């Protein structure tokens, strides 16, 4: 070999060694060193020599290369999407000894908002949402505090910039945390947009346009979704924002119109009202589609009494920007057919989410998408119509759009890909909570679903209106604090669904979800002793049925 080739050869050896093991390789002890040496033996020397001589290396960014020789791929698994699911899957796979890379790229929103590693949940979803929800709840708590003896003088006001800054700083710390975790777990992280060239090749693009090609034995798609803009409303995209933008605003959104009645719309409207902003929710038909409608009505009733305005059965027609900078929205009342208009500082569209599949190039590979939703059709093992391509998380058709299910599904998929397990993800009995001002937690079937599956006569619904102790001194209205347990009418009376509105509904529901998972029955519930004084104990005390028609208000202690 000439001197040049020798130099390239040895550099390739080091780079190959380094990149497979990660920079912290030498921090490990002798055991790791031994593992490394074993890895060396499995590497094909002929492959390295060939690559050095031909000057090809997929490890050099910017060099376009389709490098798999002798049937070996660059990576065992490449995950496209660095969100809740993608990160969990890649870290688990790497821990099980696979060679993993994860690609994460955030296409800026229409307004130009972008964010770091972590996906929707960390950056523009659960985390900032819950923090802002907490900010709003604290506002209510301060008002209650006066009744409890706190000497708080004067009206209280909220500064958006302070809250947004604190929330955004926390999110950035999470971005960093995820980056460090990927490094520790030896996952190769690429801040690049991935698209599929064929079932084993991915083309990755940086923001600057530099290209890189990766080959993988298995490809996992976890790109999630993005908020939709309405297509038939002039001015919607130019003047409106979505949940991608609201959490990253530097200034207060001011008087806001939230269009939509999903949990995204209601949660956003909820905290905006809570921090003192004039907020209106425009609902086309019903609120919280897919959830139990009785509970949805309680949630929106509470929000209305809390100060959120609702424009029921209204559809926006167009959005115009006025010379003052404010937005004029013209809408139609579906019931009367009349047109109305009003001005707002911000219009927030929460009319659904679309799967991120366009940039992937799935059609030419034969990965089937659902015709209506555009999501990827997946099997029970997260497989797609192409053998070595998998998809899970929000992108999977029929899957819940939740972080915990994505994380769990990702980990199980990683174990299956590593050949360590055959366990499939169980998507049943998934609990969830809507973090509106009055929170709503549930697990299992809604009453409508239970009726349709089992028949109205074969179910028993135990329910209760309760008053949290904390509301008494604070003189707060508890009319919407309610719970119901839907059970089978006969036999052991297995619990089919559990629904609860109240403070800390998420905390309350989590524990009951475990009982649900274990197949709890109504008698199990009654056998459980309550913790006093809590609101959760009302669930184990519930005894009035809907069928009886009796007053379900809890009285006494």
Q: Which residues bind another protein (CB under 8 A)?
A: 14, 18, 23-27, 168-173, 176, 179-180, 183-184
Instruction: Give me the least distance between CB of 195 and another protein, in Å please.
Output: 24
Q: Which residues are registered as beta bridge partners of 545?
A: 462
Is 532 catalytic? The answer is yes
**Are the C-beta atoms of residues 315 and 343 closer than 8 Å to each other?**
no
| Structure tokens given for 359 | 């940039």
45 vs 176, which CB is nearer to another protein? 176
The residue behind tokens 């080739």 is 5
128 vs 274, which CB is nearer to another protein? 128
164 vs 481, which CB is nearer to another protein? 164
DSSP 34-57: HHHHHHHHHS-HHHHHHHHHHT--
Q: Count CA atoms within 13 Å of residue 474 on its CB side.
A: 14
Secondary structure letter of residue 489 according to DSSP: S
Please report which helix (H) or strand (E) contains residue 168, including its range.
helix 160-184
**Are the C-beta atoms of residues 347 and 327 closer than 8 Å to each other?**
yes
Max CA separation in the chain (angstroms):
93
Please report which helix (H) or strand (E) contains residue 350, including its range.
none
166 vs 550, which CB is nearer to another protein? 166
21 vs 133, which CB is nearer to another protein? 21
The number of helix segments (H) and strand segments (E) in the chain equals: 17, 22
9 vs 471, which CB is nearer to another protein? 9
Q: Which residues are registered as beta bridge partners of 556?
A: none
- Comparing C-alpha atoms, which of 170, 351, 154, 164 is closest to residue 272? 164
- Comparing C-alpha atoms, which of 351, 325, 330, 324 is closest to residue 342? 330
- Coil, helix or strand for 186? coil
**Are the C-beta atoms of residues 450 and 131 closer than 8 Å to each other?**
no
Checking 549-553 for CB contacts under 8 A at 24+ apart, the result is 552/463, 552/464, 552/465, 553/464, 553/465, 553/466
Instruction: Give me the least distance between CB of 414 and another protein, in Å please.
Output: 23
173 vs 285, which CB is nearer to another protein? 173
DSSP 225-269: EEEPPPSSSTTHHHH-EEHHHHTT-SS---SEEEE--SHHHHHHH
Instruction: Give me the least distance between CB of 166 and another protein, in Å please.
Output: 9
- Residue 535 makes CB contacts below 8 A (sequence gap 6+) with 466, 468, 469, 481, 502, 503, 504, 508
Q: Which of 158, 340, 454, 532 is catalytic?
A: 532
27 vs 151, which CB is nearer to another protein? 27
Q: Count CA atoms within 13 Å of residue 237 on its CB side.
A: 9
Instruction: Give me the least distance between CB of 22 and another protein, in Å please.
Output: 9
Chain CA centroid to CA 138, Å: 24
- Coil, helix or strand for 423? coil
Instruction: Give me the least distance between CB of 211 and another protein, in Å please.
Output: 20
Instruction: Give me the least distance between CB of 173 and another protein, in Å please.
Output: 5
Instruction: Give me the least distance between CB of 32 and another protein, in Å please.
Output: 12
173 vs 548, which CB is nearer to another protein? 173
Instruction: Give me the least distance between CB of 29 and another protein, in Å please.
Output: 10
21 vs 408, which CB is nearer to another protein? 21
Instruction: Give me the least distance between CB of 116 and another protein, in Å please.
Output: 8
Length of the chain: 557
Checking 469-475 for CB contacts under 8 A at 24+ apart, the result is 469/533, 469/535, 470/144, 470/503, 473/144, 473/147, 473/148, 474/144, 474/147, 474/148, 475/147
Instruction: Give me the least distance between CB of 165 and another protein, in Å please.
Output: 9
- Residue 547 makes CB contacts below 8 A (sequence gap 6+) with 460, 461
Rounded-to-integer distance, Cα 117 and Cα 104, Å: 7
Q: Which residues are the active-site residues?
A: 532
């Amino acid at each position: 070999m000439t001197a040049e080739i020798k130099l390239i050869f040895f550099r390739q050896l080091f780079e190959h060694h380094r990149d497979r093991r990660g920079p912290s390789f030498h921090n490990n002890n002798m055991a790791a060193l031994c593992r490394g040496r074993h890895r060396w033996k499995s590497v094909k020397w002929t492959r390295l020599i060939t690559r050095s001589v031909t000057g090809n290396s997929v490890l050099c960014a910017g060099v376009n290369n389709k490098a798999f020789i002798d049937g070996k791929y660059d990576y065992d698994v490449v995950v496209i999407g660095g969100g809740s699911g993608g990160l969990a899957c890649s870290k688990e796979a790497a821990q099980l000894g696979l060679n993993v890379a994860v690609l994460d790229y955030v296409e800026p929103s229409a307004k130009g908002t972008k964010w770091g590693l972590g996906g929707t949940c960390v950056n523009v979803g659960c985390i900032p949402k819950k923090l802002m929800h907490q900010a709003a709840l604290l506002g209510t708590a301060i008002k209650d505090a006066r009744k409890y003896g706190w000497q708080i003088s004067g009206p209280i006001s909220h500064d958006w910039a302070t809250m947004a800054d604190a929330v955004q700083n926390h999110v950035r710390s999470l971005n960093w945390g995820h980056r460090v975790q990927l490094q520790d777990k030896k996952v190769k992280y690429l801040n690049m947009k991935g698209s599929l060239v064929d079932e084993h090749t991915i083309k990755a693009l940086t923001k600057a346009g530099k290209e890189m090609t990766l080959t993988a034995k298995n490809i996992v798609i976890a790109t999630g979704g993005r908020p939709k803009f309405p297509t038939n409303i002039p001015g919607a995209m130019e003047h409106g924002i979505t949940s991608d933008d609201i959490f990253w605003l530097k200034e207060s959104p001011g008087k806001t119109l939230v269009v939509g009645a999903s949990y995204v719309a209601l949660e956003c409207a909820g905290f905006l009202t809570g921090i003192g902003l004039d907020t209106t929710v425009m609902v086309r038909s019903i609120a919280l589609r897919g959830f139990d409608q009785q509970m949805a009505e309680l949630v929106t009733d509470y929000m209305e009494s809390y100060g959120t305005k609702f424009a029921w059965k209204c559809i926006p027609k167009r959005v115009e920007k006025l010379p003052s900078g404010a937005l004029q929205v013209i809408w139609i009342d579906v019931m009367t057919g009349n047109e109305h208009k009003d001005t707002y500082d911000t219009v927030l569209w929460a009319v659904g989410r679309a799967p991120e599949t366009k940039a992937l190039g799935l059609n030419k590979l034969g990965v089937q998408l659902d015709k209506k939703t555009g999501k990827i059709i997946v099997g029970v093992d997260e497989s797609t119509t192409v053998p070595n391509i998998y998809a899970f998380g929000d992108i999977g058709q029929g899957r819940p759009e939740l972080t915990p299910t994505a994380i769990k599904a990702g980990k199980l998929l990683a174990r299956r890909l590593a050949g360590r397990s055959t366990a499939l993800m169980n998507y049943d009995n998934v609990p969830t909570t809507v973090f509106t001002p009055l929170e709503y937690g549930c697990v299992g079937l809604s009453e409508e679903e239970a009726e349709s599956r089992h028949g109205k006569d074969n179910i028993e619904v135990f329910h209760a209106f309760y008053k949290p102790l904390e509301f008494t001194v604070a003189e707060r209205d508890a009319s919407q604090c309610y719970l119901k347990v839907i059970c089978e009418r006969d036999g052991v009376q297995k619990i089919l669904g559990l629904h609860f509105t109240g403070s800390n509904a998420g905390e309350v529901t989590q524990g009951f979800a475990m009982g649900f998972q274990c197949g709890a029955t109504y008698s199990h519930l009654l056998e459980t002793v309550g913790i006093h004084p809590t609101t959760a104990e009302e669930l184990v005390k519930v005894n009035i049925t809907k069928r009886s028609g009796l007053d379900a208000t809890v009285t006494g202690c």
